[in-house]
Amino acid sequence: MVKEKILVIGASGQIGVELTLALRKIYGNNNVVASDLREQNPLLEGTGPYVSLDVMNKEMLHVQVIRQNITQIYLLAAILSATGEKNPNLAWHLNMQGLLNVLDIAREEKLSKVYWPSSIAVFGPTSPKQSCPQQTIIEPITVYGISKYAGEFWCNYYNQRYGVDVRSLRYPGLISYKSAPGGGTTDYAIEIFHEALENKKYECFLQEDTYLPMMYMPDAIRATIELMEAPAENISIRTSYNISAMSFSPKEITTSIKKHIPEFSINYKPDYRQKIANSWPQSIDDSVAANDWNWKPEYDLDKMVKDMLDNI
Ligand code: NAD
Ligand code: AKB
């Protein structure tokens, strides 16, 4: 059996920290190399190898892959929806070129697997709002969504043409307490907990009735690992799988938080992120993921809220 050695790119981000720690538990600390533009992350320090790496520097990336005998790459480095609208060229450049660099190296070095996340941001105003299906009209309006949709088709292309075993999930908004979020439209659903605990009030940048698909980080990490461990013959989607856990609005998460902090209050001051949120579906149909590799979420709104408040 080939001994797997994994490179996580973007390991210091919101997902990267938790995914790196989860992969280290499975594959052993020294078999999971964390890498990021950032020099180090205190949450990863002492848990295994960490290298400072720019995914845009293909030569350096290639050298690391060969030097460290890497067999799998998890590519998490990206610019998210809200930050992407402030610098569309940079977002397109990083999100596309970073992926192409990794796919090329995976092909050349015959890596066993690649993981790259897409997002519900691929969907646009013409996609169905409720139970948005795997295959549907997809017309994204953000540069982030455009880059994710193009990326999905590059993954499919490298799989069909070169046999690269690249797998992907369209994550909803991810909620977590370990590592800070990186500039998304769904970040309000994390900020709200910190403000509720510290100041008992929160000014929300989305309207009270803005429903969005969301997921708690433990579900997202488990989904990622389950997808990557599934037999290749079960993987029918080589663009990116819809996955889903819950859908709620700022008003609903406030009600749930108030069960624990009755004096908590919220007011609403929508900004440019409202338009992005309005363009996305409110809920997602993940039946293809359920059929192919038995995906099933564990956390609903109230269970997630309790766990967040217990752990922050
Ligand atoms: P994040 O912004 O928290 O982390 C990204 C990390 O990439 C950062 O640590 C950053 O320093 C690093 N990075 C940036 N440029 C780099 C470069 N040139 N080379 C190496 N590293 C670089 O993002 P995240 O929330 O952890 O998201 C990870 C992936 O998951 C992204 O592809 C994102 O689009 C996707 N995703 C995230 C969510 C979410 O809610 N967090 C939802 C859907 C999809
Ligand atoms: C964002 O809001 O940009 C991310 C995402 C849903 O991709 N959380």
Collapsing DSSP to helix, strand or coil, 311 comes out as helix
Q: Widest CA span of the chain, in angstroms?
A: 58
Q: Span 264-269, mean pLDDT?
A: 98
Give distance in angstroms: CA of 189 to centre of ligand 1.
Answer: 17
pLDDT tens for 112-145 read 999 999 999 999 999 999 999 999 999 999 999 9
Apex 283 CA angle, 280 and 287, nearest 5: 120
Which atom of ligand 1 is found nearest the CA of 121?
43
Q: What is the pLDDT of residue 2?
A: 65
Q: 50, 115, 144, 188: which is the annotated catalytic residue?
A: 144
Give the mean pLDDT of the chain. Answer: 97
Q: Residue 134 is inside which H or E element, if any?
A: none
Q: Is 14 in the pocket of ligand 1 (CB under 6 A)?
A: yes
How are strands ordered across the β-sheet holding 173-175? 173-175, 212-216, 246-248
| 8, 37, 154: residue to mutate for ligand 1 pocket, most atoms within 8 A of CB | 37
Domains 6-173+216-242 and 177-214+246-311 share a fold: no
Tell me, in angstroms, the distance from the centre of ligand 2 to residue 283's CA. Answer: 14
Averaged pLDDT for residues 199-213: 98
Q: Reduced to 3 states, what is the DSSP secondary structure of residue 289?
A: helix
Asked whether the beta carbons of 168 and 157 are under 8 A apart, the reply is no
> Given this model, what pLDDT does residue 207 score?
98
Give the number of the ligand closest to the Cα of residue 170. 1
Gap from CA of 15 to ligand 1 centroid (Å): 7
| CA 195 to ligand 1 center in whole angstroms | 23
Integer Cα distance of 121 and 141 in angstroms: 9
- Cβ(193)–Cβ(309) below 8 Å: yes
Q: Is 79 in the pocket of ligand 1 (CB under 6 A)?
A: no
Tokens of 10: 């973007």
34-92 per-position pLDDT tens digit: 999 999 899 999 999 999 999 999 999 999 999 999 999 999 999 999 999 999 999 99
pLDDT attached to residue 3: 87
Q: What is the pLDDT of residues 178-193, one digit of tens each?
A: 998 989 999 999 999 9
Alpha-carbon gap, residue 224 to 289, rounded angstroms: 11
**Residue 84: count of CB within 10 angstroms of its CB:** 28
**6-173+216-242 has which CATH code?**
3.40.50.720
Q: Which ligand sits closest to the CA of 148?
A: 1
With contact defined as beta carbons under 8 Å apart, do 39 and 52 qualify? yes
The verdict on whether 144 is a catalytic residue reads yes
Single-letter amino acid, residue 6:
I
Cα angle: 196, vertex 283, 143; to 5 degrees: 85
pLDDT band at 1 (very low <50, low <70, confident <90, very high): low
Q: And the tokens for 72? A: 């799998």
Residues touching ligand 2 (Cβ under 6 Å) are: 80-81, 119-121, 144, 173, 184-186
Distance of alpha carbon 15 from the chain centroid:
6
Distance CA 86, CA 125 (A): 20
Closest CA to 211 of 120, 96, 295, 307: 120
Task: Ligand 2, residue 144: give the atom nearest the CA.
Answer: 3
Cα distance between residue 133 and residue 113, in whole Å? 26
Q: Which CATH architecture has domain 177-214+246-311?
A: Alpha-Beta Complex (3.90)
Domain boundaries, the chain: 6-173+216-242, 177-214+246-311
